[in-house]
Amino acid sequence: PSTSLVLVDEANNAPKREQLCLLLRFCGKGIIQERAQGCFHMENLNAESVSKMIIEKLQHLKLDINYIFAQCYDGASVLSGHLKDIQARIQERITHAIYGKCCPHRLNLVIAD
């Protein structure tokens, strides 16, 4: 099995409902690949709800969390800012999943504008 990086971002859709997008980046057959796992409606974007959803989706995909080596978010406060945020909660479950801020997210915002 290959190691994976979990990437998560949130956005509002047209009717202003919060959506959370989950992507996995992994190396398969020597090629780095990225696969969207879906966009999921979120009633609440607090750290507890989002981290729970991430773990549930990884379990649903039957991914062995021992192969998750990193987690990456866009830097929004709910995603990365304080002690009991999402990255800390995920790291409680997957202790070796280091956190890295998603710098390319800013580049995407600049290009999209």
pLDDT tens sequence across 24-61? 888 878 888 888 888 888 888 788 888 898 889 889 98
Which is nearest to 77 in space by CA: 88, 68, 85, 69? 85
How far apart, in whole angstroms, are the C-alpha atoms of residue 60 and residue 19? 18
Mean pLDDT for 75-99 is 72
Q: At what angle do helices 86-93 and 47-60 cross, to 10 degrees?
A: 40
The helix (H) or strand (E) run that includes residue 109 is helix 103-112
Q: Is the pLDDT of residue 17 over 60?
A: yes
The pTM score is 0.72
Q: For residues 79 and 45, what is the distance between their CA atoms, to the nearest angstrom?
A: 9
DSSP element (H, E) containing 52: helix 47-60
Instruction: For the beta carbon of residue 96, count every other beta carbon within 10 angstroms.
Output: 11
pLDDT score at 51: 87
d(CA 55, CA 74): 18
pLDDT number for residue 37: 87
